[in-house]
């Protein structure tokens, strides 16, 4: 077997190094961005648990067709008014994720939930908390973070060295 090496030009070496840094940082950040989204949804559901029940009046309720995941689905859209602490909050709209299983007529009283500190955020369905509790940091979060960080460090090392790189080079052999 011969000891032939394929040499990369300086500009190619910089591009490979930058590629390693970019992919590494993306791999390290992606699980945490996903985790942040899950935590935000959980925090929102947790906050709604302290909301109080109120009475709302249906102004209008009709079926609308919307597009979800490239598929047209029908949802019940309800326009309603909340009266809380002597104030009226009209023209609130809620779109049921599924059919509520009943027909809502104008003028009908319905249950709703609102934050007493900010009644504008009224809803007809309270978000429920998952039984398993808040989202946890998983093994894959840690794995991709460490792998991404290692790739970024190797790419940064190659970039700082700015040496002609050969295919098969590893940081210990540079």
Model confidence pLDDT, tens digit, residues 110-141: 888 888 888 887 887 766 666 666 666 677 77
pLDDT at position 66 is 83
Residues 25 and 63 in one domain: no
Q: What's the pTM value of the predicted model, to 2 decimals?
A: 0.50
> Which residues, listed in sequence order, are joined to residue 68 by a DSSP beta bridge?
71
Residue ranges of the chain whose pLDDT lies below 50: none
Instruction: Evaluate whether residue 128 is within a structural domain.
Output: no
Instruction: Evaluate whether residue 17 is within a structural domain.
Output: yes
| Tally of structural domains, the chain | 2
Instruction: Evaluate whether residue 5 is within a structural domain.
Output: no
Residue with tokens 């590494």: 24
Residues 165 and 101 in one domain: no
Q: 75, 63 in Cβ contact below 8 A?
A: yes
Residue 27: partners with Cβ closer than 8 Å, 6 or more residues away: 144, 145, 147, 148, 151
Domain of 160, in residue numbers? 10-44+133-173
d(Cα 19, Cα 8) in Å, to the nearest integer? 14
Residue with tokens 């290692």: 150
Instruction: Evaluate whether residue 2 is within a structural domain.
Output: no
d(Cα 85, Cα 55) in Å, to the nearest integer? 11
Q: Which two tokens stand for residue 149?
A: 């960080």
Residue 18: partners with Cβ closer than 8 Å, 6 or more residues away: 155, 159
Residues 138 and 156 in one domain: yes
Residues 75 and 111 in one domain: yes
């Amino acid at each position: 077997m011969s000891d032939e090496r394929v040499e990369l030009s300086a500009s190619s070496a910089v591009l490979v190094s930058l590629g390693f840094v970019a992919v590494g940082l993306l791999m390290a950040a992606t699980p945490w961005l996903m985790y942040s989204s899950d935590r935000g949804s959980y925090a929102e559901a947790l906050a709604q648990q302290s909301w109080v029940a109120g009475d709302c009046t249906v102004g209008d309720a009709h079926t609308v067709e919307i597009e979800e995941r490239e598929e047209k689905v029908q949802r019940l859209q309800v326009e309603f008014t909340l009266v809380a602490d002597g104030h009226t909050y009209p023209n609130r709209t809620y779109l049921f994720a599924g059919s509520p299983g009943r027909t809502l007529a104008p003028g009908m009283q319905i249950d709703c939930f609102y934050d007493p500190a900010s009644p504008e955020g009224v809803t007809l369905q309270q978000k429920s908390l998952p039984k398993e509790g808040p989202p946890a940091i998983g093994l894959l979060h840690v794995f991709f973070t460490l792998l991404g960080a290692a790739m970024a460090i190797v790419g940064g090392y190659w970039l700082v060295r700015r040496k002609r790189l050969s295919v098969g080079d590893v940081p210990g052999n540079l």
